[in-house]
Amino acid sequence: MQVLIFGCTRQADALVPVLVHDGHHVTVMDTDSDRLAIMKRQTDIEPVWIADPLMQDFLIEGKIETAEAFYSLSDDDHKNLLLCQIASEIYNVPRTMCLLSDPQLQAFYEPLGMRVINAGRDFLNSAQELIAR
């Protein structure tokens, strides 16, 4: 499965090796080229460095048109929400998951059909369930 991940966070560090081990093709996007380089050395991913996070060109470069799953795992809840909505509504990615640290945002967006996750203990299991669906 083609998996696209936005954000080189601790959550991505935990999820990416599992996805790669399970045979998925993983592309990780981030604005920090050093963190991308470290992740590339540790796992077999395709890195995409984001020079201008306000432009959507990095989604095209990350091959969002062929992505079967999209995880937005940055430290910015609002950016995660926006990118998941773009992936789902504009690019029709069938499986999207959004990392949200704000419980109020979680409570608001979950009933609207957005798959949200927090960084708690069940993160990895919940994230893997998205692929298993």
Give me the pLDDT at residue 72, please. Answer: 95
The full set of domain ranges for the chain reads 2-132
> Has residue 120 got a pLDDT over 90?
no
Q: Which fold has domain 2-132?
A: Rossmann fold (3.40.50)
Give me the pLDDT at residue 53, please. Answer: 61
> Has residue 132 got a pLDDT over 90?
no
Report the distance separating Cα 33 and Cα 49, nearest Å. Answer: 6
SS3 83: helix
Task: Kindly report, residue by residue over 18-48, the tens digit of the pLDDT.
Answer: 999 999 999 999 999 999 999 998 888 988 9
Mean pLDDT over each residue of the chain, to the nearest integer = 90
Task: Kindly report, residue by residue over 56-115, the tens digit of the pLDDT.
Answer: 788 988 999 999 999 999 999 999 999 999 999 999 999 999 999 998 998 999 888 889
Q: Are 95 and 133 in contact (CB under 8 A)?
A: yes
Report the distance separating Cα 114 and Cα 37, nearest Å. Answer: 31
Report the distance separating Cα 11 and Cα 100, nearest Å. Answer: 12
> Has residue 133 got a pLDDT over 80?
no
Q: Are 4 and 23 in contact (CB under 8 A)?
A: no
Answer whether 0.85 is exceeded by the pTM.
yes
